[in-house]
C-alpha cells in the first residue's frame, strides 16, 4: 500500500494476484474491513457498495467453497454476479485465454475472479482485461484470499499473528494455499513450519524463511496453529505416497498427534477434506480445536473486503 492503494497496479486498475506484492499494512486493512463485514453478515445486513457493478467468476477448475464464497460476497455488496466455467463457454470450443479477455472487455466486467490450473493465469489476464482481477487460485502458485481468510480466522482467536507457531502439514508441493500462507504469515511475524513426506515438500522450501520437517510429531510440538492440507491427487503426475492408509499413519492428524501441539491449538483446513487421509474425523469435528467451519464464514467476509477495496480504488481512478 506504499502508493496508497490496495493490490497490484497494472494499467489503471488494481488487482489481487497474490500475497506477494502486499505489505503488512495492506493485509491489516483487508482484515480490519472484513471484521466489519462479519458483524454485518451475522445481522443479515447488506451494503450496496457494488451496486451496478458486475463480478464475473471464471473458474477453469472445479470449486464449491471458493466460487460460492465469491458469489455470496459479491451479492451481499449489491453486485451482479455471473458464474462461468469453461465447459459451458467458448473456451471449451478452443478459444484462447486472450480472446476470452477481449470478449470480457467488450462486456465491461468490473471484477474478474479467476481460477485456473496454470500458474500465472491471473497475472496474464490482468495485463489484458480492463477489470480488476482477483486470483482465486492459479496452479500451485497462489491463492491469496484463502491466506487472508486463514489469517483473519487466526487473528480473531489469538488477537495477533506475530509470534505464533503455525505448522502447515501435508501435500505442500502442490499447494497454492501453503505458498500464499507462508508469504502472509512470515510477513506478519509468525514462525512457520512446513511438514510433509520428502516427496511432497518443494525442493526450495528451506529458503522460504520457514522450518521444514518430515516428522509430523516434531512439527506439531507446541504449535499454536495446525493447518492440514489435502493430498491434491489431481496435480500429481505420479504416485507420491504409497497408500492412503500408510499416509494417514504417518501424516494424518489424529487426537494423539494433536496432543503434542499447544493445549488450545487451532486446527484448520482449507477444504475439501479427505477424512481418514490427512485428518481424522474426530479432530475435524472437535470444536474445542477445529475452526474449519469458521474459515468458511471468514471466507465470505474477506472476499467482501477485497471486492470493496478494489472497486473503491477503481472508482477513485475512473
Please give the residue ranges that form the binding site for ligand NCD (CB under 6 A). Answer: 65-66, 137, 143, 146, 176-177, 230, 232, 270-271
* CA atoms within 13 Å, Cβ hemisphere of 147: 31
Least distance to ligand NCD, CB of residue 196, Å: 13
Least distance to ligand NCD, CB of residue 235, Å: 9
Residue nearer to ligand NCD on the CB measure, 227 or 314: 227
Residue nearer to ligand NCD on the CB measure, 41 or 273: 273
Least distance to ligand NCD, CB of residue 249, Å: 21
Residue nearest to ligand NCD (CB): 230
Residue nearer to ligand NCD on the CB measure, 53 or 180: 180
Residue nearer to ligand NCD on the CB measure, 75 or 233: 233
Q: Give the CA angle between residues 142, 145, 146 to the nearest 5°.
A: 75
Residue nearer to ligand NCD on the CB measure, 65 or 191: 65
1 vs 156: CA distance, rounded Å: 23
87 vs 160: CA distance, rounded Å: 42
Least distance to ligand NCD, CB of residue 281, Å: 17
Least distance to ligand NCD, CB of residue 11, Å: 27
Residue nearer to ligand NCD on the CB measure, 76 or 230: 230
Least distance to ligand NCD, CB of residue 179, Å: 10
Amino acid at each position: 500500500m506504499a502508493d496508497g492503494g490496495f493490490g497490484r497496479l497494472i494499467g489503471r486498475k488494481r488487482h489481487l494476484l497474490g500475497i506477494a506484492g502486499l505489505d503488512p499494512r495492506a493485509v491489516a486493512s483487508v482484515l480490519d474491513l472484513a471484521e466489519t463485514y462479519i458483524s454485518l453478515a451475522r445481522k443479515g445486513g447488506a451494503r450496496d457498495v457494488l451496486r451496478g457493478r458486475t463480478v464475473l467468476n471464471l473458474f477453469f477448475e472445479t470449486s464449491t467453497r471458493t466460487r460460492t464464497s465469491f458469489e455470496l460476497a459479491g451479492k451481499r455488496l449489491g453486485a451482479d454476479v455471473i458464474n462461468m466455467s469453461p465447459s459451458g463457454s467458448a473456451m471449451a470450443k478452443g478459444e484462447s485465454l486472450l480472446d476470452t479477455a477481449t470478449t470480457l472487455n467488450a462486456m465491461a466486467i468490473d471484477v474478474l475472479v479467476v481460477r485456473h490450473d496454470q500458474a500465472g493465469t491471473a497475472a496474464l489476464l490482468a495485463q489484458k482485461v480492463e477489470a480488476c482481477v482477483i486470483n482465486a487460485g492459479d496452479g500451485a502458485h497462489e491463492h491469496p484470499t484463502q491466506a487472508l481468510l486463514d489469517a483473519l480466522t487466526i487473528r480473531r482467536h489469538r488477537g495477533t499473528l506475530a509470534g505464533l507457531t503455525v505448522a502447515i502439514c501435508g501435500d505442500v508441493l502442490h499447494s497454492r494455499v501453503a505458498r500464499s500462507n507462508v508469504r502472509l504469515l512470515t510477513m506478519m511475524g509468525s514462525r512457520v513450519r512446513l511438514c510433509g513426506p520428502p516427496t511432497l515438500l518443494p525442493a526450495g522450501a528451506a529458503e522460504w524463511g520457514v522450518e521444514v520437517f518430515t516428522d509430523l510429531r516434531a512439527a506439531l510440538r507446541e504449535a499454536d496453529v495446525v493447518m492440514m492440507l489435502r493430498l491434491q491427487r489431481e496435480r500429481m503426475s505420479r504416485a507420491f505416497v504409497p497408500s492412503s492408509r500408510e499416509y494417514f499413519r504417518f501424516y494424518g492428524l489424529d487426537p494423539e498427534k494433536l496432543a503434542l501441539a499447544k493445549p488450545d491449538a487451532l486446527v484448520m483446513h482449507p477444504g475439501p477434506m479427505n477424512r481418514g487421509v490427512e485428518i481424522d474425523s474426530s479432530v475435524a469435528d472437535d470444536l474445542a480445536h477445529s475452526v474449519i467451519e469458521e474459515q468458511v464464514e471468514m471466507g465470505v467476509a474477506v472476499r467482501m473486503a477485497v471486492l470493496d477495496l478494489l472497486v473503491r480504488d477503481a472508482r477513485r481512478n475512473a
